[in-house]
Amino acid sequence: MVHGLCYRLTGGDRALAEDATQEVFIQLWRKIGNYRGDSKFSTWLHSVSSNVCVSYIRKQRGWWQRMFNIEDSAAMQETAEGSTGEVDIEAYVQRLPERARMVFVLHAIEGYRHEEIAEMMDMAVGSSKAQFHRAKQLMQEWMGYE
């Protein structure tokens, strides 16, 4: 039921649906204590699944636009795709200087706040923000979004 819901919500994007399904089950595991029995379990499951899946899809589909302030998603996808049609953000990320890459991955991909990153990496919050800005600028330059 959950995978079917995610599959439909993603418009049939198989890979995104599988990722969203995983995210739903992670969140369900975390939220199972919130189930009070006021409704059928399947009703609660569907509600949580829908909300988590929609949030996950928005986050995934909007990431490139938010990250690089790109309006035209077709142009964005064309630029981000390699000759195989696969998005190869990993290649761009790997080109980043080490500290900028670490901050970029932790903030943009993993969702950590700069305060958390600064503590993890033993740096000032301002340094984390500067490294993130540097990484973002380099990637925009490499991708032709100056």
Q: What's 117's domain CATH number?
A: 1.10.10.10
User: Would you state the pLDDT for residue 73?
Assistant: 45
Checking if the pLDDT of 119 tops 80, the result is yes
Judge if 63 and 79 occupy the same domain.
Answer: no
Residue 15: CB atoms within 10 Å: 8
CA distance 72 to 94: 25
Other CB atoms within 10 Å distance of the CB of residue 101: 17
For 28-71, what is each residue's pLDDT tens digit? 999 899 888 888 898 788 778 877 877 787 677 666 666 665 55
pTM: 0.49
62 and 114 fall within a common domain = no
Residues 84 and 59 in one domain: no
- pLDDT for 65-95, tens place per residue? 666 655 544 544 554 544 444 446 767 887 8
Q: How far is CA 70 from the centre of its chain?
A: 16
132 and 85 in a single domain? The answer is yes
Residues 8 and 23 in one domain: yes
86 and 114 in a single domain? The answer is yes
**Residue 27 Rama label (left phi>0; alpha psi -120 to 50; beta):** alpha
Look up the domain containing 55 and give its range: 2-68
Q: Does 54 share its domain with 13?
A: yes
